Chain A
């Protein structure tokens, strides 16, 4: 149980392209999903908390107009990197927590490796 599906797993595209990443909880409902970014050999960095039916909460320093988050249902959140540039190249990972409460762990998707040429 507790499977989180993230798609696509890898994206290579030209500078200026917008890229959409999907995160789905397959066997549970998630009021809240989380988006992380990880650069090589560095720690996970929380970018934003995605809330179903309301606006996302962004961490300090993360541009909300560049990283658009939509959480349309209890099982789907999307992250769109708008007008991506080479410095946006990174490993993007989503996670979701079961509605069961704050004692529930977060379950991670497999991540999306984004490479901007």
Chain B
């Protein structure tokens, strides 16, 4: 079992819809969780961080964390074609200082 798992996609949604991206992790003591967006040919950029159970909203993005289920998700409301990218889930374990990345989910938003 991979430490951080994501469906590779592609996840295709129509413009204006809600895109839901999911991530599960195996280390129960993980404490910090991040979502990065990576456009093709570019480096990842941080879009959300979440540390406690529940929802965290930032503009059109909402991160959701459920530590009991070891599950973190990212919702993108009113999806735009410019949101088309690969979204990486990253998890920090309680010990050490290295993030563990999932393989990423490719999102395609169709006009």
Query: Which of the segments B19-27, B53-61, B97-105 contacts the partner chain?
Result: B97-105
Range of interface residues on chain B? 20 to 34
Instruction: Kindly state the separation between the CA atoms of A108 and B42 in the bound complex, as whole angstroms.
Output: 10
Are B44 and A102 touching (Cβ within 8 A)?
no
Cβ of B80 within 8 Å of any chain A Cβ, yes or no, is: no
- Pick the contact of A103: B44, B51, B101 (CB < 8 A): B51
Are B43 and A46 touching (Cβ within 8 A)?
no
Are A102 and B42 touching (Cβ within 8 A)?
no
Are A102 and B92 touching (Cβ within 8 A)?
yes
Are A103 and B92 touching (Cβ within 8 A)?
yes
- Pick the contact of A43: B31, B46, B92, B101 (CB < 8 A): B101
Q: B73-91 CB contact bits vs A (8 Å, 1 = yes)?
A: 0000000000000001010
- Pick the contact of A93: B43, B46, B92 (CB < 8 A): B43
**Chain B residues near A110 (CB, 8 Å)?**
42-43
Quick one: which of B6-52 are within 8 Å of A by CB? 31-32, 34, 36, 41-46, 49, 51
Are A102 and B97 touching (Cβ within 8 A)?
yes
Cβ of A106 within 8 Å of any chain B Cβ, yes or no, is: yes
Instruction: Kindly state the separation between the CA atoms of A34 and B108 in the bound complex, as whole angstroms.
Output: 29
State the interface size on chain A (CB cutoff 8 A).
19
**Chain B residues near A43 (CB, 8 Å)?**
101, 103-104
- Pick the contact of B42: A32, A34, A103, A111 (CB < 8 A): A111
For the A-B complex with A93-B44, A102-B32, A110-B43 known, give 20 more contacts whose Cβ atoms are closer than 8 Å.
A6-B43, A32-B97, A44-B88, A44-B101, A49-B98, A97-B97, A102-B31, A103-B31, A103-B92, A105-B32, A105-B34, A105-B90, A105-B99, A106-B34, A106-B46, A106-B90, A106-B99, A108-B43, A108-B46, A111-B42
